[in-house]
Amino acid sequence: MSHPVDVYVGQKLREVRRLRGLSQSCVAQSLNITFQQVQKYEQGKNRLSASKLFEAAQFLEVTPGYFFEGLENISNPAPILDDDTTKLVTMFSRVENPRLRQQIAKLVRTMVETDGPET
């Protein structure tokens, strides 16, 4: 049975990989492992060693601590981004025009503020 911390770290690995728009094969190649191993890490089936975690952090341009952010309370960890949110963030990060980015952010804020209970 997987330890909850290993599952959480694997989810964070998947989250940042997808935010960067990278395949499991790309990450695997950078870490000199198989893509199946990356799958196992992301599912929490296998535990990342400290050295692989450090290598992954360097490749993905995050701090090693990133993988543990929100894990202060293992029984109630911070939520991992779902697939739709990850896709939205990835697409938003590709918008290069600062004015357009501001307009998109304003639109989303307005939508959230006016989003009331469904009737």
Based on C-alpha coordinates, what's the Rg of the chain?
Answer: 17
Determine what percent of the chain is predicted with pLDDT higher than 70: 90
Cα dihedral across residues 80, 29, 55, 59: positive or negative: negative
Q: What pLDDT score does 95 carry?
A: 85
What tens-digit pLDDT sequence spans the chain (119 residues)?
788 899 999 999 999 999 999 999 999 999 999 999 999 999 999 999 999 999 999 999 999 999 999 887 666 665 677 778 877 877 888 888 889 888 888 888 888 888 766 54
pLDDT for 63-93, tens place per residue? 999 999 988 766 666 567 777 887 787 788 8
The one-letter amino acid code at 114 reads T
How many angstroms separate the CA atoms of 14 and 8, rounded? 10
Give the residue extent of every domain in the chain: 4-114
Q: What pLDDT score does 6 carry?
A: 92
How many angstroms separate the CA atoms of 31 and 60, rounded? 11
How many angstroms separate the CA atoms of 70 and 65, rounded? 10
- Under CATH, to which class is 4-114 assigned? mainly alpha
DSSP letter at 49 equals P
DSSP letter at 33 equals S
